[in-house]
């Protein structure tokens, strides 16, 4: 007679359903704080339901997706999980924003080898905070526990945002013209790009790494979450609209991977270039330390990092002063960093 096999549960195989259920219960009150008009059904069902607000006459949906990248490696090493969720939200909502769109709802994907409820709750708490600060509903998500796929203590994140904009108010940059002004909105730090080089700099510095940068503890300065520009920039768009012609805010560029040199050209018509003035915005201690430690030139800095400018606003010259003032009153740090001119045979972005 054959001996029956010892029973194996899903938990024996490395997946703890009870831990997943406990996490969902921890998440629900966090997600509830992000609810807004349009949410018909959120976390808990097989699919979330959202109705585009009726105040839109001709709504166009704008979607974006992103992750946090190798900044997560520092979160694991330093046990700093509370703000990477803000990074996740910011990378998508700031992208959606540059089309002139209001972020409506957000979904997240959290994947790990073994679920640690406290760590996951800290991460998703950051996601909820980012959504709350952006006026965006955390409407759903997925937690995947996959034994053997990730090293112990590590996880990966992805985020997905959907926004809406009136068809007549979509920002494409098509009306940008020579003489327009380039405004730069200060970043909060490295944001969530360039961390493969950041980690090399940390490794190179070793024990000689500074204790503080820009008045913050070294680790906090590097892990400072990506700035959320949504509410302030939407308010500026309402105050300085571009509805054809030459007035108002004509284009926005989120300065992410590729830095200033690669992202600004994405919103410029053919034949135009952005001429940025070196020194028109300050280099923080953080970016000065990265440049000195890596031993790279200004070009490499400006195509690897945001280098202190997290969002670019292109506006007509007559409106530039008023637009900058509006953004400052809303809480942004604003610099006039350059202008638009014919490209000629030069680069699409120069910093001189």
Residues 79 and 200 in one domain: no
Pick from 136, 169, 202: which residue ends a domain?
169
Do residues 192 and 226 make contact, with C-beta atoms less than 8 angstroms apart? yes
Q: Are residues 263 and 340 in the same domain?
A: yes
Q: What is the mean pLDDT of the chain?
A: 93
Exposed/middle/buried for 167, CB within 10 Å: 0-12, 13-18, 19+?
Answer: exposed
Q: Residue 10 falls within a domain, yes or no?
A: no
173 three-class SS: coil
Angle, in degrees to the nearest 10, between helices 71-78 and 84-97:
160
Asked if the model's pLDDT at residue 301 lies above 70, the reply is yes
Residues spanned by the domain of 199: 181-351
Instruction: Please name which of 212, 219, 185 lies closest in space to residue 306, comparing C-alpha atoms.
Output: 185
Instruction: Determine the pLDDT at residue 48.
Output: 86
3-class SS of residue 151: coil
Do 249 and 276 reside in the same domain of the chain? yes
pLDDT at 24 over 90: no
CATH number, position 53? 3.30.1330.10
Instruction: For 318-345, give the DSSP string.
Output: HHHHHHHHHHHHHT--EEEEEEEEE-TT
Distance, CA of 87 to CA of 248 (rounded, Å): 29
- pTM, entire model: 0.93
Q: Residue 51's pLDDT is what? A: 92
Q: How far apart are CA 211 and CA 217, in angstroms?
A: 6
Instruction: For 313-341, write each residue's pLDDT tens digit.
Output: 999 999 999 999 999 999 999 999 999 99
Out of 32-36, 143-147, 306-310, 326-330, pick the least confident: 32-36
* Statement to judge: residues 58 and 163 lie in one domain: yes
Q: For the chain, where are the E strands, in sequence order?
A: 39-41, 49-50, 59-67, 102-112, 137-145, 155-166, 181-186, 212-213, 216-217, 249-254, 272-276, 309-315, 334-342, 349-351
Is 175 part of a structural domain of the chain?
no
Number of folded domains in the chain?
A: 2
Q: What are 166's strand-pairing partners?
A: 59
Q: Which of 141, 169, 197 is the last residue of a domain?
A: 169
Whether the Cβ atoms of residue 162 and residue 63 lie closer than 8 Å to each other: yes
Q: 289 lies in a domain?
A: yes
Beta-ladder partners of 138: 106
What percentage of the chain exceeds 90 in pLDDT?
80
Please compute the mean of the pLDDT values over residues 44-63 and round it to a whole number: 90
Q: Which helix (H) or strand (E) holds 263?
A: helix 259-263
Which residue, among 212, 215, 195, 226, has the nearest Cα to 74 in the 3D structure?
Answer: 195
pLDDT at 2 over 80: no
Strands (E) located in 146-265: 155-166, 181-186, 212-213, 216-217, 249-254
Considering the domain architecture, whether residues 188 and 319 belong to the same structural domain is answered as yes
Query: Does a structural domain hold residue 252?
Result: yes
Q: What is the pLDDT of residue 10?
A: 61
Of the candidates 151, 179, 166, 127, the one whose C-alpha atom is nearest the C-alpha of residue 76 is 151
- Cβ-based neighbours of 101, under 8 Å, separated by 6 or more: 60, 62, 163, 164, 165, 170
CATH number of the domain enclosing 337:
3.90.650.10
Buried/exposed 294-330: b ≥16 CB within 10 Å, e otherwise = bebeeeebbbbbbbbbbbbbbbbeebbeebbebbeeb
Domain membership flag for residue 270:
yes
Residue 107 in domain = yes
- On whether both 164 and 186 belong to a single domain, the answer is no
| Claim to verify: residue 205 and residue 326 sit in the same structural domain | yes
Which residue has 């992000």 as its token pair? Answer: 34
In a domain, 2, yes or no: no
Same domain flag for 209 and 346: yes
Q: Are strands 349-351 and 272-276 parallel, antiparallel or unpaired?
A: parallel
118 and 252 in one domain?
no
66, 201, 289, 297, 301 from 294: Cα distances, Å: 26, 6, 8, 9, 10
Domain assignment of residue 174, yes or no: no
Question: In angstroms, rounded to a whole number, what is the distance separating the alpha carbons of residues 102 and 289?
Answer: 36
SS3 30: helix
Q: Is the pLDDT of residue 13 over 70?
A: no
Q: Is residue 161 located within the same domain as residue 222?
A: no
351 or 79: which leads in pLDDT: 79
One domain for residues 221 and 273: yes
Of 124, 140, 169, the domain-final residue:
169
146 shares a domain with 48: yes
Closest CA to 130 of 68, 85, 69, 163: 85
């Amino acid at each position: 007679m054959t001996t029956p096999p010892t029973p194996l549960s899903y938990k024996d195989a490395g997946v703890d359903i009870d831990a997943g259920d406990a996490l969902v219960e921890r998440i629900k009150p966090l997600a509830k704080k992000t609810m807004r008009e349009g949410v018909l059904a959120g976390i808990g069902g097989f699919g979330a339901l959202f109705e585009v607000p009726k105040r839109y006459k001709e709504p166009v949906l704008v979607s974006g997706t992103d992750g946090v990248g190798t900044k997560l490696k520092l979160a694991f090493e330093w046990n700093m999980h509370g703000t990477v969720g803000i990074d996740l939200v910011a990378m998508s909502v700031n992208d959606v924003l540059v089309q002139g769109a209001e972020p409506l709802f957000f979904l997240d994907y959290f994947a790990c080898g073994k679920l640690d409820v406290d760590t996951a709750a800290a991460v998703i708490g950051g996601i909820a905070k980012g959504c709350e600060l952006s006026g965006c509903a955390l409407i759903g998500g997925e937690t995947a526990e996959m034994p053997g796929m990730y090293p112990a203590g590590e996880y990966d994140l992805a985020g997905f945002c959907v926004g809406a904009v009136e068809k007549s108010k979509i920002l494409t940059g098509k009306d940008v013209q020579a003489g327009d002004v380039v405004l730069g909105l200060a970043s909060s730090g490295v944001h969530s790009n360039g961390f493969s080089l950041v980690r090399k700099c940390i490794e190179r510095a070793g024990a000689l790494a500074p204790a503080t940068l820009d008045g913050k503890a070294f680790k906090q300065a590097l892990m400072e979450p990506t700035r959320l520009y949504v509410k302030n920039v939407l308010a500026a768009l309402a105050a300085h609209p571009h509805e054809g012609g030459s007035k108002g805010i004509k284009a926005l560029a989120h300065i992410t991977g590729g830095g200033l040199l690669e992202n600004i050209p994405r919103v410029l018509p053919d034949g135009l270039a952005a001429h940025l003035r070196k020194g028109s915005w300050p280099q923080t201690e953080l970016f000065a330390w990265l440049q000195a430690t890596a031993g790279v030139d200004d070009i490499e800095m400006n195509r690897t990092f945001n280098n202190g400018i997290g969002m670019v606003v292109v506006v007509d010259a007559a409106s530039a002063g008023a637009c900058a003032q509006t953004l400052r009153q809303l809480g942004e740090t604003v610099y006039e960093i350059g202008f638009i001119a014919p490209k000629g045979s030069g680069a699409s972005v120069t910093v001189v």
